[in-house]
Structure 1
């Protein structure tokens, strides 16, 4: 099967800005960071700009509720924490957890259930627990942290980094690696669309997660205001409708 196209290396290295709607004079702006290595359902890019996906639609909805014009900033993963700490044209990034972005950030209320999972090719015996793959190469995404796996495996955690999940799935299909760590939301999206390139054992759940938005400590957006907007989206079903689009 054909896997969806990945973001070009040029797009990964560029810092791109894309406005949503027209900002009126004096209207505040919500500067939203987006990791350039993402794939659907988290984000779809066109000409170096996010145009669809969970993170895109969530940010647009937040902007409307907060009365702010949304501007997206496409950045490499390794720069996210630094940009949020500096707070220059960087208010927040969503669908993260504190373990992925350590530092003096403010965290919103959690709003989306997800999980880190280990997937293994059927050419290998199915691991019963994470410790069964200690010392074996595991497909990971460059710049991403896996605190639960690091704790469980210690020096036996042998990373095999790739730019994104799609590249890791290609490496699984070619036999270059036998295991990879994937997010449940993204994995199930690809599975439903028939876009997994090989036979896999049922995934082994490593950690259950509830993702949130990381807010810059220098942002002009108060955390209680962000939390109130997310709570309203949960209460009126608009958040569930966004998520349902990708199920």
Structure 2
């Protein structure tokens, strides 16, 4: 019996070794519910589950490379990674020609967030000069002109969770957060203390970009992403990490 088990284990190990490897980038700026990192490797979260399912569906082995967000562009250009997920075309300063885009996978809303529920929904252009909580390396198309003009100034944090923690601690009156992260952050707070979304800054569809190399199973992964999107698996993954309460909902009358 032990011999049979040893043979099965050997076959399984050999099969895994024969699988093509795709190098997925993981941005250090991501936090839950997108991803949780332990010992430099992702262990859970929406994006981890998505990449794991996609790799399994495509018959490849995922290899995760943790790197600073500002390093991602150069890594793409140098061919140091094969797949970058949770990205939009307009986020890239230059679009590498040797990558193919997947179907849109996740809809993201970027929100202007405050501590007080008493603040009325506000247009960012109406804000007086002040610091806004932001994430290092993130671009904010709605706010960038105001930052450039000096009407508002960025106060960068290493990741989204830290930006929200500083807002909760009163370091500034407003911060920018994606809706998923806001929901996750608010789950730990009593209803009266939850951070509030005051306006929608951006709404965009995010997908993956896959290196177009004849030695890689590029099309297999792209087809796998189509299948898991069409099957509703992406929505089920998001649902596993999304609370059912009203934490972080957009207040009525918010701008878009």
- The alignment partner of 2:74 has SS state of helix
Per the alignment, residue 29 of structure 1 pairs with 21
- The alignment partner of 2:56 has SS state of helix
In 2, distance between residues paired with 1:102 and 1:195? Answer: 40
- The alignment partner of 1:102 has SS state of coil
> CA RMSD of the aligned region, Å?
2.6
Cα distance change, pair 81–219 in 1 and its aligned pair in 2 (3 A):
farther
Determine which of 32, 36, 39 is the counterpart of 1:40.
Answer: 32
Per the alignment, residue 230 of structure 2 pairs with 235
Per the alignment, residue 165 of structure 2 pairs with 170
In 2, distance between residues paired with 1:32 and 1:219? Answer: 17
- The alignment partner of 2:90 has SS state of coil
The answer to whether the Cα contact below 8 Å between 2:132 and 2:176 also exists between their aligned partners in 1 is: yes
TM-score of the pair, normalised by structure 1: 0.81
Q: Does 1:186 align with 2:178?
A: no
Per the alignment, residue 12 of structure 1 pairs with none
* Cα drift, residue 189 of structure 1: 2.4
Q: Does 1:205 align with 2:200?
A: yes
Per the alignment, residue 136 of structure 2 pairs with 142
Per the alignment, residue 49 of structure 2 pairs with 57
Cα distance change, pair 192–225 in 1 and its aligned pair in 2 (3 A):
same
Structure 1 residues 169-209: Cα deviation after superposition (integer angstroms, max 9, x where no partner): 22212222111000111112222453899453433100111
* Cα drift, residue 64 of structure 1: 1.0
Cα distance change, pair 71–178 in 1 and its aligned pair in 2 (3 A):
same
Q: What is the total number of aligned residue pairs between the two structures?
A: 226
In 2, distance between residues paired with 1:48 and 1:195? Answer: 32
Task: For 1:90-169, list aligned pairs within 5 A.
Answer: 90-105=81-96, 106=99, 107-122=101-116, 125-133=119-127, 135-151=129-145, 154-155=148-149, 156-169=151-164
Unaligned runs of 5+ in 1: 1-20
The answer to whether the Cα contact below 8 Å between 1:91 and 1:219 also exists between their aligned partners in 2 is: no
TM-score of the pair, normalised by structure 2: 0.78
Cα distance change, pair 160–220 in 1 and its aligned pair in 2 (3 A):
farther
Say which one has the larger Rg: 2
The answer to whether the Cα contact below 8 Å between 2:23 and 2:62 also exists between their aligned partners in 1 is: yes
- The alignment partner of 1:187 has SS state of helix
Unaligned runs of 5+ in 2: 1-11, 243-256
* Cα drift, residue 149 of structure 1: 1.8
Cα distance change, pair 167–198 in 1 and its aligned pair in 2 (3 A):
farther
Structure 1 residues 24-58: Cα deviation after superposition (integer angstroms, max 9, x where no partner): 34421010010112111100111221000111111
Per the alignment, residue 250 of structure 2 pairs with none
In 2, distance between residues paired with 1:137 and 1:210? Answer: 28
- The alignment partner of 1:122 has SS state of coil
Cα distance change, pair 65–222 in 1 and its aligned pair in 2 (3 A):
same
Structure 1 residues 103-124: Cα deviation after superposition (integer angstroms, max 9, x where no partner): 2233221111111110023298
